[in-house]
Amino acid sequence: MIYERLYNKIIIHNKTDFNSKHILECGQVFRYKILSIENAFCKISKLNNITNEKFTENLCELIYEVITLDKIAYICEYNEFYIIYCNNNFIDYFINYFDLNSDYSLIKQKLSELNIEILNKAINCCYGVRILNQNPYEVFINFLISSNNNIKRIQLIIEKLCVLCGENKGDYYAFPTLDKLKSLSLNDLRSVGLGYRAEYLYKNLQNSAFNITELNANSDNLKERLLNFYGVGDKVSECILLFGFHKLNYFPTDVWVQKLYNEYFDNSLTDRKLIAKNLVNTFKNLSGYAQQYLFYYKRCFDKC
């Protein structure tokens, strides 16, 4: 157990299996940002009226804000531990969200036993990555927007979408509900900079069979069902499976994974579907974890 659950916060004692920067910046999630200490103190104090609690802001090194659906959490990094603050009704929600009941020491050990040099290097750099348990609907929308796009722009578009039609929660805007998104016109969607992806979103939202919130995580043809949605292909569907449904036996393969594969595994193979197949064959039920360590490493640590 790496955490301690208190009535209005979660304390993470183990900084080798949890790193806020790694978790948030590895590409699985888009609504997060670094807060200044003063701003964070002000926001956190409002959460649960914790005015009588000593918030040791002067010892805090780094604070991230994370928003998922209509909920917000603050991850405060200290020298020896982390504290996650959220509304006290959502403590259990965020324990699950940050996947705190999974043993990442064991996962990393199993992966390192495969003796793949580049993976061990990636795990060494990206040691604090965890696969979040995100809401499938939110992940679906996010990764529909992600295609042929870059992460900075994806974040910007999602934020604009939230400001356009998400509920104003005071300190932040909630992720739009399905009904709110359905009420938008094609031009509304275009106005947030979606480009041609506006039609992907619009067609799905206008489709009465758009039932992403009702998809059964345990149905064995989940990927085929996802592929039926407009704008969802092989790669996007696998991102939804991994990040939205926590299906760890997929290895979403994009330009970055292909670059890494060509550099460290086989430089002649360019078919991403085949690359993904080979990688899943190698990593089996640990594919999703391996994917995040390698993807994040290739994007952010490769030049070091």
Partner DNA sequence: TCCCAGGCAAGGC
Partner DNA sequence: GCCTTGCATGGG
Q: Residues in the site for DNA, rule: CB under 7 A? A: 26-28, 146-154, 190, 193, 195-196, 199, 229-237, 239, 252-257, 259, 271, 291-292, 295, 299
Min. distance of Cβ 149 from DNA in angstroms?
Answer: 5
Min. distance of Cβ 56 from DNA in angstroms?
Answer: 33
Min. distance of Cβ 214 from DNA in angstroms?
Answer: 20
Question: 277 vs 284, which CB is nearer to DNA?
Answer: 277
Q: In the block, which residue shows the tokens 């990593």?
A: 283
Question: 91 vs 236, which CB is nearer to DNA?
Answer: 236
Separation between Cα atoms, residue 84 and residue 86, nearest integer Å: 7
Question: 57 vs 234, which CB is nearer to DNA?
Answer: 234
Strand order, beta sheet including 71-77: 3-5, 9-12, 82-86, 71-77, 62-68, 32-35
Q: In the block, which residue shows the tokens 């399905």?
A: 178
Question: What secondary structure letter does DSSP report for 28?
Answer: S
Min. distance of Cβ 190 from DNA in angstroms?
Answer: 6
Question: 19 vs 237, which CB is nearer to DNA?
Answer: 237
Coil, helix or strand for 101?
A: coil
Q: What is the largest CA-CA distance in the chain?
A: 62
8 A C-beta contact, residue 192 and residue 164: yes
Min. distance of Cβ 9 from DNA in angstroms?
Answer: 28
8 A C-beta contact, residue 237 and residue 225: no
Coil, helix or strand for 21?
A: helix
8 A C-beta contact, residue 251 and residue 290: yes
Question: 13 vs 301, which CB is nearer to DNA?
Answer: 301
Question: 64 vs 295, which CB is nearer to DNA?
Answer: 295
- Of all helices (H) and strands (E), which one includes residue 33? strand 32-35
Min. distance of Cβ 222 from DNA in angstroms?
Answer: 15
